Structure 1
């Protein structure tokens, strides 16, 4: 199965953003710093995940 770099990056970004959001809403208040952390987590995951190449598929 071949997964594109874009799809891989989107899933990674959503996962990182969700993890940061769950941590931020523990006290039922999202501060500016927590919002910035969520945004940076998503952007960082997108950039890093998109930059890492997929493993080459073995030929059948």
Structure 2
């Protein structure tokens, strides 16, 4: 299966943002600090995932 770097970064950003958002809404409201944490989690995941190259497929895989 070939996954482009863009979709890999989008998937990781969605996962990180969802995890941060679930934690933030545990008390029923999202504070500005929690919103910043959600945004930073998404951007951090995008940046880190974008920089890590996809593995080169081996023969016969």
Give the TM bin, normalised by the shorter chain.
over 0.9
Q: What's the TM-score, normalizing by structure 1?
A: 0.96
What is the aligned-residue RMSD (CA, Å)? 0.6
The 5-angstrom pairing of residues 47-58 of structure 1 reads 47-58=47-58
Q: What's the TM-score, normalizing by structure 2?
A: 0.95
The 5-angstrom pairing of residues 1-60 of structure 1 reads 1-60=1-60
Aligned residues: 60
Q: Which runs of 5+ in 2 are unaligned?
A: none
Structure 1 stretches (4+) deviating beyond 6 angstroms?
none
Q: Which runs of 5+ in 1 are unaligned?
A: none
